[in-house]
């Protein structure tokens, strides 16, 4: 069994970028590529074993649900994520490098933030079976 890990919401970035970061970490943990695949894996019970070792707080689940429409567009492998402009809060899908200036809105001078996978530090090592 896997070590217990805790999903950490990145701070200081727009809510959509936080949601995408969380989702990418959950995708990796559940060994799926996309939001739809995750839903399928949860429904069929395949992901339960993986996800039981990841602590997801209710507010994190809520944040992902609020942005589910966009989260359906991102992918874990190969990586397709969102870059969110902190000024106008518009977003674009990115597969590689992020534009240095906002391309989502005419005249916006914001610098888009790329959502990368949230951290999942180990909070409890699984003890090996006692003798």
Q: List residues near Zn ion by CB under 5 A.
A: 85, 87-88, 102, 105, 108, 110
Nearer to Zn ion, 10 or 110 (CB): 110
Nearer to Zn ion, 75 or 87 (CB): 87
Nearer to Zn ion, 55 or 98 (CB): 98
Nearer to Zn ion, 77 or 105 (CB): 105
Pairwise CA distance, residues 57 & 6, whole Å: 9
Tell me which H or E stretch contains 28. helix 15-30
What's the closest the beta carbon of residue 102 comes to Zn ion, in angstroms? 3
20 contacts: CB under 8 Å, gap ≥ 6? 67, 70, 71, 74, 81, 82, 84, 115
Pairwise CA distance, residues 82 & 98, whole Å: 9
At residue 30, what are phi and psi to the nearest 5 degrees? Answer: -90, 0
What's the closest the beta carbon of residue 89 comes to Zn ion, in angstroms? 7
Place of tokens 């809060």: 89
Place of tokens 């200036």: 101
């Amino acid at each position: 069994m896997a070590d217990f890990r805790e999903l950490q919401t990145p701070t200081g970035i727009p809510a959509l970028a936080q949601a995408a970061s969380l989702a990418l970490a959950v995708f990796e943990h559940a060994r799926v590529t996309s939001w739809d695949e995750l839903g399928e894996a949860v429904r069929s019970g395949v992901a339960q074993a993986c996800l039981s070792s990841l602590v997801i707080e209710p507010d994190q689940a809520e944040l992902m649900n609020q942005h589910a429409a966009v989260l359906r567009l991102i992918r874990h492998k190969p990586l397709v994520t969102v870059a969110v402009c902190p000024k106008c809060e518009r977003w674009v899908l990115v597969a590689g490098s992020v534009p240095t200036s906002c391309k989502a809105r005419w005249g916006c001078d914001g610098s888009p933030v790329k959502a990368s996978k949230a951290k999942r530090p180990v909070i409890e090592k699984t003890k090996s079976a006692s003798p």
